[in-house]
Chains A and B, each alone.
Chain A
């Protein structure tokens, strides 16, 4: 048995490595996606007052702090046993849409576009954001513009783009000003055009990736995402819906506090990332997928005009349940369009300027669960407190963790299809990494250190001797 190690995986958020286990014929027998960092947030928050949790939890991630703030604040709302003012809910939703826009734009334009526009087999020295800037400066500018707009939404409401303290238990800290609303509304046409162009761009290159579509995590699974009461996409609030591989809804409108009836958590000794699974099917058969593809598969519709047209075309082309993880990219861009449209709807509603945005209360319950749909998938915060409101226990199911089993299975499928023989080729190994990027995993984010180490791939013999090696200059 030989082992191929890809360490670190580049152009993702955080640190990970992949090992491929080859048999004596040089064929991939097994693979593992190792998340090599431990964070410990669940443990070190014990003893802290519950109302500090949003600020503490936002530090988990520098890309999607808003999602952690929301899930955490919602768990705190439940501990306070209150209903927050409608305007507070709307503003939380708006800031979340800003984050979805900036995060999806970051993934598509900066992390995935090098593979999609320059090609999986293009020279690694150019297959990165530098190569993209040189080859397609207009695409790079578009990415910057969209990401900047999403960040501006967050900044205009929450004052800070990263780790804002504006989302608080009970609502938000301050209402939206008319000037902020007008500024953000003025940016909608350009953002919409940017999202449309991104989608058109992806569709124009899809034909080049037929092999990848067929082999990038293309398998049956359960899908999970949040929907509103009418079964439409809702990234801020609603109930959990699970669809099986045949498209049947197997659980619907599951309230936040019942999540553990449907989601179990397993651990493997070779990774710090937990392995959540759909409980009724057991571990590891209960593999499910979340994030853009999961959401697009579970919702009846998005609920905004252009996104629904695109969703219809997507389903017409690939089926009601789309099984290839390569299409996370496509689904992500439909969501990007949805987020801009939904944001416009909120901003045009005069009620968005309501000033009653926060409810106040102490701890009135010993337990609370908050769920939000982060850019990468369903994010669950579950807290228990003592009578004084001090944290006694926390459980977090991070968006990326939900996809852990699926990522592992996808890597194995890709490796079996593309990696053959004892000699390693950069293009095939890039495909192993690229399937991970399709999920847009967020493994640490707070350090933003992805790609600052060189990628090195080693083929090891049974005695540990290096049989082959590919080193790549730091690619991001």
Chain B
């Protein structure tokens, strides 16, 4: 089964985009894809990643225009330093490969946020991008068959 992990901090406004998109994917593809929402990528997620057919990670971005959606495939065999408290998307795939002998094809979907201040709820421009980002996630997964 495919795995979608949305991550971020829901009490830092648009940093909750990963959660929002993951939940939208879950709503639209319930039972067809495994969806997780987490504050940070952690070493223990490597086991879940290794078991996935295809992995899509969803996160808010500060280097994109608010509401802009980017989907990128992470290079096979890329390495990055894992940390005990938080991993990058690349490090998670790398750790899955090192510890469990397999890393799925991994994609990173990022959405530009407007405000990362304290507070719950997405800004209007970020909220408007949730559907498009969910489309991007589902498109990646449907391409895998």
Binding site for B on A (CB under 8 A): 11, 62, 106, 110-111, 128-130, 133-134, 137, 140-141, 143-145, 147-148, 151, 162, 448, 450-452, 474, 476
Residues of A near B43 (CB, < 8 A) are 110, 129, 140, 143-144, 147
B interface secondary structure, majority: loop
Residues of A near B39 (CB, < 8 A) are 62, 162
State whether A148 touches B44 (Cβ < 8 A): yes
Which of B60-68, B78-86, B128-136 interfaces with chain A? Answer: B78-86
State whether A476 touches B85 (Cβ < 8 A): yes
State whether A147 touches B85 (Cβ < 8 A): no
| 8 Å CB contact of A448 from B47, B85, B100 | B85
The distance in angstroms between the C-alpha atoms of A145 and B85, with both chains bound, is 16
What residue in chain A is nearest B100 (Cβ atoms)?
A: A141
| 8 Å CB contact of B99 from A110, A137, A151, A451 | A137
State whether A140 touches B99 (Cβ < 8 A): yes
What residue in chain B is nearest A105 (Cβ atoms)?
A: B44
State whether B44 touches A133 (Cβ < 8 A): no
State whether A133 touches B85 (Cβ < 8 A): no
- With A144-B99, A162-B39 already in contact, the answer to whether A111 and B84 are too (CB < 8 A) is yes
- With A62-B39, A110-B43 already in contact, the answer to whether A130 and B84 are too (CB < 8 A) is no
- With A62-B39, A137-B99, A140-B99 already in contact, the answer to whether A129 and B44 are too (CB < 8 A) is no
Binding site for A on B (CB under 8 A): 39-40, 43-44, 46-47, 81-86, 95, 98-100
Q: Identify which of B44, B47, B99 gathers the most chain A CB atoms within 10 Å of its CB.
A: B44
What residue in chain B is nearest A111 (Cβ atoms)?
A: B84
| 8 Å CB contact of B81 from A62, A130, A147, A448 | A130
State whether A129 touches B83 (Cβ < 8 A): yes
State whether A129 touches B46 (Cβ < 8 A): no
Residues of B near A143 (CB, < 8 A) are 43
Known: A137-B99, A476-B83. 6 other contacts (CB 8 A): A62-B39, A134-B98, A141-B99, A141-B100, A148-B44, A162-B39
Residues of A near B99 (CB, < 8 A) are 133, 137, 140-141, 144
Q: List 8 A-B contacts (CB under 8 A).
A: A133-B98, A144-B44, A147-B43, A147-B44, A148-B44, A162-B39, A448-B86, A476-B84
State whether A129 touches B47 (Cβ < 8 A): no
- With A133-B95, A141-B99, A151-B44 already in contact, the answer to whether A450 and B81 are too (CB < 8 A) is no
Give the Cβ gap from A452 to chain B, nearest Cβ, in Å: 8
State whether B47 touches A451 (Cβ < 8 A): no
The distance in angstroms between the C-alpha atoms of A396 and B47, with both chains bound, is 37
Residues of A near B98 (CB, < 8 A) are 133-134, 137
- With A140-B99, A141-B99, A144-B99 already in contact, the answer to whether A451 and B44 are too (CB < 8 A) is no
What residue in chain A is nearest B79 (Cβ atoms)?
A: A130
Give the Cβ gap from A45 to chain B, nearest Cβ, in Å: 16
The distance in angstroms between the C-alpha atoms of A106 and B43, with both chains bound, is 10
State whether B84 touches A106 (Cβ < 8 A): yes
The distance in angstroms between the C-alpha atoms of A274 and B74, with both chains bound, is 46
| 8 Å CB contact of A133 from B40, B47, B82 | B82
What residue in chain A is nearest B98 (Cβ atoms)?
A: A133
Residues of A near B86 (CB, < 8 A) are 448
